[in-house]
Structure 1
């Protein structure tokens, strides 16, 4: 593995007051994580369906001011909820507020309740993916027109595993791919992504591979590294935001990268 291992935490903005979320973000940065994500939904995805919940991008603007080292972003932004040019401008603004620490995570969207209660057309999985394919070049084109320009080439993270469309878009536009499933599934998706990269003439090594981790490093790290994963994301929910597992992964990351550097 040539890419250093990185650890992320997804602070799920559900079942908590904002003060608790803010403290969790500060604790995660202090614990040494590389990236802090939230998610882009309007209602909780687990627990009480109508529990406390906060909006994604206004929160990212606050995190940009409240943090100083970690990268921040959504895992992932729903493409359907914002005009692509507006999203590009929002991302550019948070990029500047954070001094160049924003990751633009984006996906086609899937949570039907968000759509129906907020008045968006849900459509089909295919139509949402087609919308994503149209949005990505509009986002990158808008970045080239904004004044001031983004502070850096904002990394795009695409989440999903669709082999015909999502992974092709990833090969074309993303610097990070976030996959789902066990190590066997991730290995298969990795190979499909590599194939798309070769087809369009891109070096697959340019794309960082990311996945969520539900177990301890001793349980799952070896097989996920073998699947090509280098970014390991732990999800935590409110109101408690227990970071015990996150700290275990940070310690594993440090040991792993030290061993890799000396090999």
Structure 2
């Protein structure tokens, strides 16, 4: 792309974001009523995508609040792809910066779990772990490294019961009255048979998965999990993770 074209596209993006431009060609476009329609259509598509991709957040805050936050996000983060099916990366962190969300400190964590669902749903179709082969390797005393499935996602909030709140607002039957213990929680999302499934997972389990993702063997991953959650039953945790379809292979 040469310099004049680069300046044009930069000016076009400025016009899209700010509704103004000192570029003569883009300025002429701005003067046309159709450009305002185009600009509104772009942002409306982004807002609609965020409402669809963050349904638990939407239920918690209501349409007016969500649409306002979504528009503010879209004005700072235009989509990088034509399809909006995965639009909204970074929305959880963005919510954490909003003054309007200060009284809802759990909201970014709920948004992070909504994002986990989208990423799990859209992830590649990895094969599931060969459980018999894993049992044989462990029985032989091998310290294998487990490879997380492409669709496995997890998130833990150290301060807020985000999994309980998210789960209640993600179900088809809608939100219900909650009185959770006000402490940190995490959730694991997997897609073992084509449909996204989820369950709660403690801090030790989260650290175990992070260690596996970093390429650590089971022994090291277990040691790190126990450092974060002393007394954790590693055998039970491993069974829970394998049954959920969290891994695709081992080496």
Larger Rg: 2
Whose relative contact order is higher, 1 or 2, with alpha carbons under 8 Å and at least 6 apart?
1
Which structure shows the higher strand fraction?
A: 1
Report if TM-score (shorter chain) is over 0.5: no
TM range (shorter): under 0.3
Which structure shows the higher helix fraction?
A: 2
- The TM-score normalised by the length of structure 2 is 0.27
